[in-house]
Amino acid sequence: MRLSPAAEAIPASGIRAMAALAEGKPGLVHLEFGEPGFFAPEAVRRAAARAVMDERIVYTPTEGPQDLQREIAAKLKRVNGVMVDPEQVFVTHGGVGALYAALASVLGPGDRILMPDPGWPNVLGQVMTLGAEPVFYPLEAAQGFAPEPEEWPAGGRLRAVLVNNPSNPTGALFGREMLERIAAFARKHDLWVISDEVYDEIYFGERPVSMLEVYPEGTLGCFSFSKTYAMTGWRLGYAVLQPGMREWTGKIVESCYSSSSMVAQRAAMAALTEVAPQEIRQMVDSYRTTRDAALTVLEAAGRKRYVPEGAFYLMLPVPRGVSSESFARLLLERKGVVVVPGSTFGRGAGGEVRISLAAGEQAVAEGVARILELTQELEQGAAHLGL
């Protein structure tokens, strides 16, 4: 009996594959998951506990409760500098739910969407499930992983552009000038922009500009509570839709998972109203310290290439002629370090591996040092490693 061809075509997660290879092995340095190493703030946990103990946990409106929509709209104004009507806010099952809601609202079979390479792989699976066609635009290390919108292809059934800022997996952050170039391209060709801003509050210099501010008439914004508040397992995010889209998107979300978790919604309300900005900055400062520790090790070895300005990731090159998959497996076997092959994120990153700076300063510094050890061994041909 035949299974879905879309499921067959979607590549398996390279992140999960490496985690599976590492499972049960003691003493490893884990740099694979983009997982904050903190508990969610106390106010968040207490709000969830109160909901479980004091309320009957039930279905909620598909788009989320109105009080949470209002608080999210207030956050967008306060943090992102964007004015939206609360009715444009659509609460979702995690940031991935926001991305799917946005994509499914504007793409159909045969439609094309421009996507970053390297980029977060889960979105590719969503696009393929919808029967749409991905068209990749390169993000190259030599250009600081920045795109060149003026060189993007257009025409035909191109309907949308996906932008991830700050970026997973590169940690690159695009400023206003770059976003305005992207907006100019989108306006010229009458395109939607799907803006993945899940890491909007994790940055190390100037605050990221939201695409919703630069291209308000054509952007669908996608956000999450996962990274900012260390709430990955709580599974709550939100999309910012265009006016009048709620019913349209609601039909899509209703058919997928009905509504998001009421317990997580109560926790999110506390995150927005009770968590002080200082708590968020303390977490971000720890990522900055870890990033700087990694860069110090790289600089001492003459291997520093670029400085990630957002999210908590760093891409590192593997020796020429070695695939990222082979390098990641050797690194696990010989050095006890778990990373993600760059090929997980696209063809353009086949000569890279990604490390997560959320693992902590000591783990990252030690992991980077071991990565450089293996790199040097391979480059010098010190031992036959079966490559």
pLDDT digits (tens, 9 = 90+) for 318-376: 999 999 999 999 999 999 999 999 999 999 999 999 999 999 999 999 999 999 999 99
Confidence of residue 7 (pLDDT cuts 50, 70, 90): confident
Say which residue the tokens 């599976």 belong to: 20
Domains of the chain, each with CATH number or no CATH: 5-39+277-380 (3.90.1150.10), 42-273 (3.40.640.10)
- Cβ neighbour number for residue 110 with a 10 Å cutoff: 11
CA distances from 135 to 110, 241, 369 (A): 12, 23, 36
Q: Are 296 and 287 in contact (CB under 8 A)?
A: no
Q: Are 81 and 213 in contact (CB under 8 A)?
A: yes
User: What's the token pair of residue 125?
Assistant: 């699976």
* pLDDT number for residue 1: 77
Helix axes 262-273, 66-80, angle to 10 degrees: 40
Predicted TM-score of the model (pTM): 0.94
| pLDDT at residue 385 is higher than 60 | no
Top mean-pLDDT range of 3-7, 11-15, 297-301, 379-383: 297-301
Structure-derived torsion over alpha carbons of residues 38, 41, 44, 50, reported in degrees to the nearest 10: 100
Q: Tell me if residue 30 falls in helix, strand or coil.
A: strand
SS3 assignment, position 223? strand
What is the mean pLDDT of the segment spanning 306-319? 96
| 142 burial type by CB count under 10 A (0-12 exposed, 13-18 middle, 19+ buried) | exposed
Matching residue, tokens 């995010």: 237
pLDDT of 383 above 50? no
Return the bridge partners of 310, or none: 203
Query: Of all residues in the chain, what percent are helix, strand and coil, respectively (each to 5)?
Result: 50, 15, 40
Q: Chain-wide mean pLDDT for the chain?
A: 95
236-271 tens-digit pLDDT? 999 999 999 999 999 999 999 999 999 999 999 999
